[in-house]
Amino acid sequence: MSLKNKAAIVGLAELKPWKEAPPDITPLKLMSRLTVEAIADSGLEKKDIDGFLVGMPFADPGMLYPASACEVLGINARMLNQVDIGGASPAGMVWRAAAAINAGLCNAVLCIVADLNKLGDQRVPVVSVQREFEAPYGNIGANCGYAMVAHRHMYEYGTKPEQMAKIAVDQRANALKNPLATFNDKPLTIEDVLSSRMIVDPLHIYEIVSPCSGGSAVIVASPELAKRSKNPPAWLLGAGEFSNHASITYAPSLTDSPVKPAADLAFKMAGVERRHIDLVCPYDCYTITVLVTLEDAGFCKKGQGGSFVMEHDLTYAGDFPCNTHGGQLSFGQPGLGGGMSHVTEATRQLMGRGEARQVKDAKLAYVNGNGGIMSEQVSLILERRS
Amino acid sequence: MSEYTKPLPKPSPTSRPFWEAAKRHELMLQHCESCRAFIYYPRDLCPYCMSDHLEWERMSGRGKVYSYTVVRRASTRSFADAPYVLAIVELDEGVRMTTDIVAAPEAVKVGMPVAVYFDDVTPEHTLVKFKPA
């Protein structure tokens, strides 16, 4: 069984993130706008949408969210679900949509996320074991876990702060060409990153995502409907998902992440080699996330992520285009829309809609979604057919 | 003395022996009698072999810093007294725990030996922390 060439992304919509939550906006209002824009972008019609995958907004949480959102949007779905694998949810939606389409359950799936930056002080774990064994020690939010991954990576492999900083610097260069990016007004240098405020040693503020408000959506469609799309489809060639922990403390390793089995499965399904990939869009809640993902996805050897990012130009014009939208570090993290930004950017590049940051002859893209502290991993390989 | 405002553990039936031991200043973890693994945090089944034959055993209380961070700005107001040293300690028995290192931030390094320190944060609650050994 395989999902290779069984479905394609045919349309997308993405809002420019707001740093704060606008007063008169709700997540469902954002979803309404995104639904209209994504359908229009795809060239399909509203009646074609018969599958619905959604992420539950922190700003409007509740049970039975998918049916409520479908009711608001006027969508009658043959398959509806909430995907709850953290930042990996949007990438996870893409293969779940393809699987449902491949099973004949539906034909076109709207994958949608929207949220408002209203977290404030409520970053307290909601799962009982984390409330009991993590929160009392101050292991709250994602910063601490990724900082501990970074320290362990430095200890095991000699990774240096300037190597991690280079990722933020190159991604910022990409963001300067992305009008949707939150931080697209000035370039960054490695010195800027290393002299910025230390939040959780060894991670500086420029290595940490900024929470925003916003949202995005993609439409995954069957091969039959993809023919009707006005965009060149971004075909799903391979997908893989893996998780082996929730708290990073109980992961088998801090530096060998579940990206590896997820990526290995995706590449095996796609039947392509790493060297054939034209651009990568790895989830980047922190600089260290990109470094570990590039290693575990097989783009360089384990432990050599630091030297790899120094030796390669990660910009859209470089020899290893990485997060050409700026990554979440420069695009911003509008809730799960942060994770969706990697899917939308890979799709744009494959459709030839990268505008000033278009990667030349982009045919094959690798996307990784990451949830929790390197916990849930989803790897996708997308292709534009010539 | 000011009131303690940080999150406190609410023991479950499964974990109660762990917290009761901590209150006695003993580090007790479950040991799987089938596959011999030590288990943290407390479970109803061994996560490695699914056995329910788990016994409580007293640990040496010695280990090493597996990794750590100095939290200089916390995500929640309850930890506004940052900086503090959050860590993963690997016990000599091979199991890892989320904890705090009670030491000056600059004194903490990955791989350094540590020993358990029981922090009686309230009359009812003792947290299992570590200090440089």
Confidence of residue A126 (pLDDT cuts 50, 70, 90): low
Query: What CATH number is attached to the domain comprising A217?
Result: 3.40.47.10
Model pLDDT, residue B75: 82
Question: Does position A121 have pLDDT exceeding 60, yes or no?
Answer: no
B71 and B109 part of one domain: yes
| Mean pLDDT, range A97-101, rounded to an integer | 98
3-class DSSP assignment, residue A79 = strand
CA–CA distance from B80 to each of A66, A205, B8, B42, B76 (Å)? 37, 17, 16, 29, 7
B54 and B64 part of one domain: no
Question: Does position A368 have pLDDT exceeding 60, yes or no?
Answer: yes
Q: Do B75 and A143 touch (CB under 8 A)?
A: yes
Of B8, B79, B111, the CB nearest to A138: B79
B82 and B127 part of one domain: yes
Query: Does residue B1 form part of some domain?
Result: no
Model pLDDT, residue A267: 98
Query: Does residue A345 form part of some domain?
Result: yes
Q: Which element (helix H / strand E) includes A108? A: strand A108-115
Query: Does residue A109 form part of some domain?
Result: yes
Residues 6+ apart with CB under 8 A from A96: A53, A81, A83, A109
Question: Does position A248 have pLDDT exceeding 80, yes or no?
Answer: yes
B15 and B68 part of one domain: no
A12 and A156 part of one domain: no
The domain in which residue B79 lies consists of: 60-133
B85 and B133 part of one domain: yes
Whole-angstrom distance, CA of residue A311 vs CA of residue A318: 11
- Given CA atoms B129, B131, B132, B133 in this order, what sign does their dihedral have? negative
A247 and A292 part of one domain: yes
Query: What CATH number is attached to the domain comprising B93?
Result: 2.40.50.840
Residues 6+ apart with CB under 8 A from A253: none
Residue range B15-53, pLDDT digits in tens: 999 999 999 999 999 999 999 999 999 999 999 999 999
Residues 6+ apart with CB under 8 A from A360: none
- Biggest CA-to-CA distance, chain A: 55
CB A370 within 8 A of CB A293: yes
Model pLDDT, residue A1: 73
B84 and B38 part of one domain: no
B41 and B64 part of one domain: no
Whole-angstrom distance, CA of residue A171 vs CA of residue A190: 12
Q: Do B98 and A131 touch (CB under 8 A)?
A: no
Query: Does residue B119 form part of some domain?
Result: yes
- Total Cβ atoms within 10 A of residue B53: 12
Contact residues on chain A for B100, CB-CB shorter than 8 A: 137-138
Beta strand segments in A172-261, E: 198-200, 203-204, 214-221, 234-242
Query: Does residue A58 form part of some domain?
Result: yes
Tokens found for residue A180: 């949707």
Whole-angstrom distance, CA of residue A87 vs CA of residue A376: 8
Model pLDDT, residue A358: 98
Query: Does residue B2 form part of some domain?
Result: no
Contact residues on chain A for B7, CB-CB shorter than 8 A: 124, 131, 135-136, 140
B14 and B52 part of one domain: yes
Contact residues on chain B for A136, CB-CB shorter than 8 A: 6-9, 125, 127
A168 and A256 part of one domain: yes
| Mean pLDDT, range A95-116, rounded to an integer | 98
The domain in which residue A20 lies consists of: 8-119+212-234
Model pLDDT, residue A127: 79
CB A282 within 8 A of CB A147: no
A253 and A271 part of one domain: yes
Model pLDDT, residue B50: 96
A23 and A160 part of one domain: no
| Mean pLDDT, range A205-228, rounded to an integer | 97
Query: Does residue A1 form part of some domain?
Result: no
Tokens found for residue A277: 């990939």
User: What is the residue-averaged pLDDT of chain A?
Assistant: 96
A204 and A350 part of one domain: yes
Q: Which chain A residue's Cα is nearest to B111? A: A155
Query: Does residue A145 form part of some domain?
Result: yes
Q: Do A133 and B110 touch (CB under 8 A)?
A: no
Q: Do B67 and A143 touch (CB under 8 A)?
A: no
Residue range A274-289, pLDDT digits in tens: 999 999 999 999 999 9
Residues 6+ apart with CB under 8 A from A92: A83, A85, A241, A369, A376, A378
B102 and B129 part of one domain: yes
A102 and A153 part of one domain: no
B54 and B80 part of one domain: no
Model pLDDT, residue B24: 98
- Tell which residue, A243, A293, A245, has the closest CA to residue A134: A245
A296 and A285 part of one domain: yes
Model pLDDT, residue A139: 94
| Mean pLDDT, range B50-64, rounded to an integer | 97
Residue range A136-180, pLDDT digits in tens: 999 998 999 999 999 999 999 999 999 999 999 999 999 999 999
Of chain A, the percentage scoring pLDDT greater than 70 comes to: 98
Total structural domains within chain A: 2
Query: Does residue A151 form part of some domain?
Result: yes
Model pLDDT, residue A122: 54
A330 and A206 part of one domain: yes
A216 and A206 part of one domain: no
Query: Does residue B133 form part of some domain?
Result: yes
B106 and B65 part of one domain: yes
> Phi/psi of residue B91, each to 5°?
-70, 155
Query: Does residue B3 form part of some domain?
Result: no
Query: Does residue B120 form part of some domain?
Result: yes
How distant is the Cα of A286 from the closest Cα of chain B, in angstroms?
14
CB A233 within 8 A of CB A12: no
Residue range A265-324, pLDDT digits in tens: 999 999 999 999 999 999 999 999 999 999 999 999 999 999 999 999 999 999 999 999
Of B73, B82, B127, the CB nearest to A137: B127
- Tell which residue, A304, A138, A299, A332, has the closest CA to residue B102: A138
A183 and A279 part of one domain: yes
3-class DSSP assignment, residue B15 = coil
Total structural domains within chain B: 2
Q: Which chain B residue's Cα is nearest to A143? A: B75
Residue-wise over A241-272: b if at least 16 C-beta within 10 A, else e? bbbbbbbbbbbeebbbbbbbbbbbbbbebbeb
| Dihedral, A253, A256, A261, A263 alpha carbons, nearest 10 | 150
Model pLDDT, residue A251: 96
Q: Which element (helix H / strand E) includes B32? A: strand B28-32
Model pLDDT, residue B96: 98
Question: Does position A77 have pLDDT exceeding 60, yes or no?
Answer: yes
B73 and B93 part of one domain: yes
Model pLDDT, residue B1: 52
Model pLDDT, residue A22: 83
Structure pTM? 0.97
Q: At what angle do helices A161-175 and A287-296 cross, to 10 degrees?
A: 100
Residue range B1-19, pLDDT digits in tens: 568 999 999 999 999 999 9
Q: Do B76 and A121 touch (CB under 8 A)?
A: yes
A190 and A217 part of one domain: no
**Beta bridge mates, B71:** A200, B84
Query: Does residue B35 form part of some domain?
Result: yes
CB A336 within 8 A of CB A317: no
Which comes out higher in pLDDT, residue A20 or A217?
Answer: A217
Whole-angstrom distance, CA of residue A131 vs CA of residue A127: 6
User: What is the residue-averaged pLDDT of chain B?
Assistant: 96
